[in-house]
Each structure stands twice: as C-alpha cells, then as structure tokens.
Structure 1
Amino acid sequence: MDLYINATFSGAKEIKSNLDNLKLFENVFLINYQQCNKEIYNITKKNKGVNRFAKYLIFKKKLSLIFNSYSPIKIKYDRMVIPYLHYELFSVISTFVNGVYFNNKNVAIDVLEEGVGSYNIVDSKSKIQVAIRKTIGFLYVPSMKFNYYVYKPELIKDHKFKKISLKKLNPVEKNEKVIKTYNKIFGYKEKYSICNEYKFVYLEQDLKTFKISKQNVLEIINVISGKCGQENFIVKMHPRSKENIFNGNIFNQFSVPWELITLNNKLPNNVLISVLSTACLTPKLLFDEEPIVILLYKLFKEDLEFASEQIRLAESVKKTYRQNKFFIPSDVEELKEILSFIDR
C-alpha cells in the first residue's frame, strides 16, 4: 500500500520522513504541487479562447507528462482511496486521480470522509460536461460505482447518485496506540493541548471568506471572555488568517491539525465557540464526543447567507447530541444567558 501526500502545507516533508520511519506504508510520495500547478495553470491560461472540448483534449495530451513529473514510479493500482469527490478537472488532485485511472481503468475507488465538506454531495457538472469527459476518457468519479465512507451517513441529505453506496465509519478510538502513532507522524507536542489548559476555545473564521465585520467579532469576543474569564479563554487562529485582531491567549500553530488536538485532549468539559467553524463538529463526528458547542452565526446572519449548507449540517449535528450541550443563540443576551448557565 502506497500513500501520496499533496504537499500543500508546511511540515509535509517532516511528516513523510516520520511515516517512512514508522514503515506503515510500502512507499510514501510527496506530490510536487508547485510544479504540477504551474503546468496545469499554463495549459489553461494559454487556451482561454479555446472551447471546452478542445481544452480537454489538450489537457489529456499533456496529462501523462504532468502525472509522471511528480510520480517517482508508474504503478498499476487495483484500489484507490481518495478523500472526497473530485469534480474539478484542472486541479492537481484530479490530475493524480486521472493518472491512476489511466494506468488501470478497472481500479476500484473508495471515497473517505475528509471533514464536513464530505456531507454535501452535489453534482456540480452539467450533463454536457460529463459527456465530454467520458467521451475523451476522463475519469468522472460521481458517475462510477463506489463506496462512500463517512462517520454519520444519516447526515447526508438526498443525493442523485444512483451508484453510490454509503458506508458508516466507526468512531476513532482514543486508545494509547492510536494517539502515539498519530503523534509520531505529526510531531505532536504537549504544549499543543490547549483544550486541557483552557476550558473555552474560540475557533476563528477566515474573516475574508465569511465577510464578517472585525469590530462585530471583537465585541462578541469581549462579551465571552468577560463572562468566562480571560485566563480560561483562548483563540485558535484559522490557518488562512493573515491578520491577528485578538488580544490575550492565542494559538497559531498552523502545522498542527485540529483533529490531532482533539485526539489528545479530553473534550466533554470544554466549550467550543465559533461563528460557524465546522471544527466545532469534529469531536462529535470523529470521536462521538460531546463538548459544549456555541455557534454564533445567528448574530451575523446578514453576512452568512451563502453558508446555508454549513448551517444545515451544524443544525443536523446538534440534533444528534444526547445531552443539551449544543447552543445557537439568537442574540447577545441569549449568549450571556448560555455562558452563565455553563458557568454554573
């Protein structure tokens, strides 16, 4: 079994080295993202005036060269496990998937949950686009028969894929072997265990993406830290954040996956707070643990109209809670009441 890592994040080389030492896989490869992305960008940029069909043909002609540029060896795989459905043709991961497919068109495909985006199965391609891709031999995963593994299949709303087979993943066990293995892979350190040190954790949103007013966010943060005490409160910055607008305790170790932090921390007594960060849902989805969650999106609703799918999922996860520990306040006064209730 081989593992390919899309090296788009800091620390990818160190993770590969750790995996090599642990010998969990026969081979571990880093995809040369920058080189591949440059090749793909050049193809699409040079052919903007060419119709879509011709652009696909040009791309297919170059595909094997691009694939071989970052795959050290050419292997005929029988099974491929990918982290989510790949709709976009001109992307590095799609290039990789098609490269494997071209080596063996009978390859079995399993799709594995990667975050909450996996719960929104939407076919974004028109019938014409799909037909073109099939005609010239491109793999279009949603049109194939495959298993789709998620932790809570019941949260996936109705979809139109007739060949998909939903499979349930068991919650990850927090046993010593699992924790030690993942900690060795990612180089986890005890100082990253913020949930053990701070009861209240605010998970920041990417303000540019969500178009949230900085001033409004700071006002809400002041209300929260004032009620729970600054010494009990920390802000975990979003990896895409370019600016720190917060005071007090800050966690900005972006190379540490949030899933790894939650794996190493005891969460049931923590309070995870955010506007609409789906990271608040990770403990329930991944470990079936129920920390207290407070989502604030109703306080910013005019700024979050585009986030209907995230809201649907968050409210669906809320319904799966066994205890009354998931709150979505409608205004600041209700937020204060919730914080006072938790403090008791």
Structure 2
Amino acid sequence: MNAFIAWTPLHIMNILNTVLNYYANEKNDIYIYDEFENAKELYIKIKETQLFNKVFLVEHQTIKNSKFKIVPLLFGTNPFKLKTIIYDRMFIEGDNYFAKVLYSLSKKSNNNLILNYIEDGIGAYVGSKILDRDSRNNKLISKFNKNSMYRDEIDELYLYEPSLVQQRENKVYKTLPKLNEENEAYKFIEKIFNIAGKGKPTKLPVKYIFLDQPFQQDGSQIDEVEIFQLVKNAIKQNEELVVKLHPRSDAKKYGNAHFLDTNVPWEIYCLTENVEKTRVISMASTASFTPSLMFGKSISIIYLAKIIKEYYLKKGFNSENQIWLENTIDLAEEFKKNVSDNIHIPASQEELEVIIDAL
C-alpha cells in the first residue's frame, strides 16, 4: 500500500504520472492537504476517477494556534485524527507540515516504511535539501521523535530529467514520462482539471511572459521588481510583456504591469495553450523549463540568473545566495546541452537586449 501527499496542483499532476506509470497495479491512497485554491473541487474530481484506493481531504487549519504545531512533530500525536493505515511506501514533494505528521504516524505502524520523492520544482536538480535536517526545529524533532522523517533517507526520486541532477546521491533515480496524449496520465489530468474536450488551443500566444517569484517576501536580497524593470527597458513594446504572478505574490508591487489572463496553474496553462510561440522570461525558476520537462514542448526561454548574480554581487550578495544562483545557472546550461538549445542565458543587460532583438 502506498501513500501520496499533494499540497499543490503540480503535485497532483506529478502524482498521477507516477501512479499510472509505476504503481497502477498497487493500492494507492492520496491525501489532499487543502492549503491551495480549489483543493476541495480537485479532491472531488480525483475521487470520481476511482484511480485511488482512498482519497482524503485534510484541512490545513486543523491546528489554528501555530504555537502548538510542533507538538505532534515532537511526540508523534495525531492532530488530524487520521485513521491508522499501514503503508509500505510514502511519496512526498518536500517536508511540509502534514507530510511530517503522516510520516511519523505511519512509521510508528511500519518501521520498514520507505520514503520516496516526486519532483517539485528546481530543488532536486540544483542540490537543494529535500529534507532540511539542519534547521533548529528539525534537529529538535529528530532528537525527540524516533519516527521522524528526519531520521530517514529518501530511497527513490521520480524526476522528469534525472540527467540534469547536478549533485547525485547514492539513490535510485526514476524518469517520469512526458505528459502528452500518449501518456495515460494525460487523460486523467484533463478530467480532473476540467480541460477535457476543449480541443486544441485557440488563443493567440502571449509574446513575452515574465515569471514572477516572491523573492522579497521570502527575505531574499533579490528584488524581483528591479529585475522586471530591467526586462521592461530591454523590450521596446511593453504591451507585449505580461507577468505570470506567483500565487503568494501581490500584483501591486508591479504597478501598472499587464498580467497573464488566466486563473489556472502555470503547468495547466502550458499544457493547454499555444506556448511554443511564447518567450518565457525567468529570473531563476524551474517553471520556465516546465513545457520542455513535463510536456516535451519546445519553447524559447530567456534565463536571467547570470544577470542577477552579477548585479547583486556588486551589492554584497551573501555566499548562500551566490551558490544557489550558480547552481541554477549550471542547471540552465545542462538543460541547454541535454534537453533544448532554445534557452538563452544572458550575462548582461546588453546581451539581453541583443537576444530580444534577435527573437
């Protein structure tokens, strides 16, 4: 019996891909942790497919006082009143709160529980820690709770392009197939996200899409508004430039900018729209690789990580941010070499302007 946990629409898509291509003949449960928009609607749609043995909707506001959230992690208690189910494998996309709670409870029931990872963004490719064992809280959790996730190791990683992983560990890497019409997971994604039967994309493609990232909100030295202004200066006709806002961002920070007219997740937009003729401008987001990595679509990418590195080094960039940016640059260059040469990595504003003029 396998347990899958989703707390974003992307997780649901990648879980479907994993289940249908690797575990279709096994019993699989899925937990939808409802800290994202439309979680309940997607939960209902997933139940209707009957793909899973059981589908659980978990309310993220079960613990309303944040001071008490650490208690279940330290002592292995059951705040969500979960029924004890013995799992052989658990699949996570990171160490979010519910994943930690469910893992601890499941490990208590089966000491041989195997922990696996399914791709969720750039982390696994650039050497970011999937399980952050070094934070003060997580060290404390590991010390007190013998069933903690932080006492375990990830066994298998399910990724779209394992060849791009820069710091390979002694683990099993498995390839997720592209999500296209030949993949059985595709038709279920159409049903669950209500895009089945809509035919081929008919909208005219947006010429430039700037992928927002909430750097300032997350305490980074990078100022995404400064970088956006640099892009605006390089593009002569700014009406052709739109922002794809990150779910945690406030649109006001970009002033009178134009925004992508869609309320669907970026991955669904890439799946259903004519993105092959769009230029995606990314600061340092793996979302820019989504069309190629997940769907096998060729798309023009302008990746700004080198510009950001040079710009902020002059401002005293800290070493942690510098290493992370260097890793994302290495990833982009590996992507260019092994997946698609339709990616441009300018090192200056002058180079950016030359690339935009050429495209």
1:30 deviation in Å? 1.5
**Per-residue Cα deviation, 1:50-89 (whole angstroms, up to 9, x for no partner):** xxxxx8xx8544x333142xx2x322222222223x3x7x
RMSD: 3.5
1:188 deviation in Å? 4.4
Which amino acid in structure 1 is aligned with residue 42 of structure 2? I
Structure-2 residue corresponding to 1:325: 342
Q: Distance in 1 between matches of 2:41 and 2:326?
A: 36
Which amino acid in structure 2 is aligned with residue 165 of structure 1? V
Structure-2 residue corresponding to 1:20: 47
1:108 deviation in Å? 2.9
Deviates more, 1:319-328 or 1:284-293: 319-328
Structure-2 residue corresponding to 1:267: 275
Whether 1:42 aligns to 2:65 is no
**Per-residue Cα deviation, 1:20-41 (whole angstroms, up to 9, x for no partner):** 22222232111221114x3663
Structure-2 residue corresponding to 1:251: 260
Contact 2:205 2:275 in 1 (8 A): no
Q: Larger C-alpha radius of gyration, 1 or 2? A: 1
Q: How many residues align?
A: 315
Q: Percent identity?
A: 24
1:135 deviation in Å? 7.4
Q: Distance in 2 between matches of 1:134 and 1:215?
A: 43
1:104-253 aligned within 5 A: 104-119=110-125, 120-122=127-129, 124-125=132-133, 133=142, 136-140=145-149, 143-144=152-153, 146-158=155-167, 162=170, 164-175=171-182, 178-188=185-195, 196-208=204-216, 209=218, 210=220, 211-212=222-223, 214-215=225-226, 217-224=228-235, 226-227=236-237, 230=239, 232-244=240-252, 245-247=254-256, 249-251=258-260, 253=262
1:242 deviation in Å? 1.5
Which amino acid in structure 1 is aligned with residue 328 of structure 2? L
Structure-2 residue corresponding to 1:65: 78
**What runs of 5+ residues in structure 2 fail to find an aligned partner?**
1-27
1:5 deviation in Å? 0.9
Q: Distance in 1 between matches of 2:298 and 2:139?
A: 41
Structure-2 residue corresponding to 1:30: 57
Kindly tell me: are residues 109 and 340 of structure 1, through their superposed partners in 2, closer, same or farther at Cα, counting changes over 3 Å? same
Which amino acid in structure 2 is aligned with residue 286 of structure 1? M
1:3 deviation in Å? 0.7
Whether 1:315 aligns to 2:330 is yes
**Per-residue Cα deviation, 1:145-164 (whole angstroms, up to 9, x for no partner):** 611221222322335x54x2
2:78 is paired with a residue of what secondary structure?
A: helix
Structure-2 residue corresponding to 1:50: none
Contact 1:7 1:30 in 2 (8 A): yes
1:216 deviation in Å? 5.2
1:273 deviation in Å? 0.6
**Per-residue Cα deviation, 1:220-246 (whole angstroms, up to 9, x for no partner):** 22432x25x62x432211111123325
Q: Distance in 2 between matches of 1:297 and 1:144?
A: 31
**Per-residue Cα deviation, 1:113-135 (whole angstroms, up to 9, x for no partner):** 12222322536436997798377
Kindly tell me: are residues 103 and 176 of structure 1, through their superposed partners in 2, closer, same or farther at Cα, counting changes over 3 Å? closer
Contact 1:111 1:147 in 2 (8 A): yes
Which amino acid in structure 1 is aligned with residue 259 of structure 2? I
**What runs of 5+ residues in structure 1 fail to find an aligned partner?**
45-54
Which amino acid in structure 2 is aligned with residue 74 of structure 1? T
Structure-1 residue corresponding to 2:285: 277
1:280 deviation in Å? 0.7
With the length of structure 2 as denominator, give the TM-score of the two structures. 0.74
Deviates more, 1:275-284 or 1:120-129: 120-129
Structure-2 residue corresponding to 1:102: 108
With the length of structure 1 as denominator, give the TM-score of the two structures. 0.77
Select the structure that is richer in helix: 1
